[in-house]
């Protein structure tokens, strides 16, 4: 049997994903604290690769990874052609417009300056609302932008709301619910359907038991 290749994100989501696999007796080889980027589970014939969150979709779309676990935010940003196989029940958050308390999101014909890592999602959202924007693309610490006057608002993920609060910002408008999901390469899935479907069935069973 060929190895199944699985792309996981480093950081919070990756740790939750590794925990999930461990609970269905997969990936005991995973050590999320080490600097290693590839782990092999010889028993289950699975190779795991640890990637930057935003690269998971790329590896799956190109078939280097058969499946991956990624936030819906990344999928929306990339518009990649992959199968969306299963919505996971942990790690829910929201993509929101946030800014200083009481800041305006809609400015008639004036241009709204939006700082974000999610430029495509922001562009599509405001276009649909008819608000002209200027995107200020950032790679992190986005919350600083309105505080220091670089932007009027931000578009960012909000989970607990602690980061916004700590920086004197608030949610001005909810955009989308974001959850992690299992995605698959469209060709890889056809060849490894049985192995992939078995993993998903085990995850589903585990999640049902946890909820019950």
User: Contact residues for ligand PRP (CB under 6 A)?
Assistant: 140, 142, 156-163
Nearer to ligand PRP, 137 or 190 (CB): 137
Nearer to ligand PRP, 94 or 123 (CB): 94
Nearer to ligand PRP, 115 or 184 (CB): 115
State the sign of the Cα–Cα–Cα–Cα dihedral 79, 154, 168, 150. Answer: positive
Place of tokens 């949610």: 171
Residue 170: CB minimum distance to ligand PRP, A: 12
Residue 144: CB minimum distance to ligand PRP, A: 10
Residue 77: CB minimum distance to ligand PRP, A: 12
Residue 132: CB minimum distance to ligand PRP, A: 24
**Shortest CA distance to 72 belongs to which of 23, 121, 114?**
121
Residue 17: CB minimum distance to ligand PRP, A: 14
Nearer to ligand PRP, 53 or 185 (CB): 53
Answer yes or no: are the C-beta atoms of 156 and 116 closer than 8 Å: yes
Nearer to ligand PRP, 162 or 209 (CB): 162
> What ranges make up the beta strands (E) of the chain?
4-9, 38-41, 46-51, 67-71, 83-87, 93-100, 112-116, 133-137, 153-158, 169-178, 180-184
Answer yes or no: are the C-beta atoms of 99 and 172 closer than 8 Å: yes
Answer yes or no: are the C-beta atoms of 66 and 4 closer than 8 Å: yes
């Amino acid at each position: 049997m060929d190895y199944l290749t699985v792309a996981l994100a480093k950081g919070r989501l990756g740790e939750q994903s590794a925990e999930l696999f461990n609970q269905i007796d997969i990936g005991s080889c995973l050590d999320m604290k080490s600097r290693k980027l590839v782990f092999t589970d010889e028993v289950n014939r699975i190779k795991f690769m640890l990637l930057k969150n935003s690269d998971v979709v790329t590896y799956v779309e190109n078939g280097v990874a058969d499946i991956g676990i990624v936030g819906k935010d990344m999928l929306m940003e990339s518009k990649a052609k992959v199968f969306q196989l299963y919505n996971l029940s942990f790690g829910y958050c929201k993509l929101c417009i946030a800014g200083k308390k009481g800041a305006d999101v809609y400015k008639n014909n004036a241009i709204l300056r939006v700082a974000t890592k999610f430029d495509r999602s922001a562009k599509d959202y405001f276009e649909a609302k008819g608000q002209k924007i200027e995107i200020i693309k950032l790679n992190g610490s986005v919350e600083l932008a309105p505080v220091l006057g670089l932007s009027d608002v931000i578009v960012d993920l909000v989970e607990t709301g602690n980061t916004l609060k700590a920086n004197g910002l608030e949610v001005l408008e909810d955009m989308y619910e974001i959850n992690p999901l299992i995605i698959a390469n469209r060709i890889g899935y056809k060849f490894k359907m049985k192995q992939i479907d078995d993993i998903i069935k085990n995850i589903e069973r585990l999640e049902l038991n946890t909820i019950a």
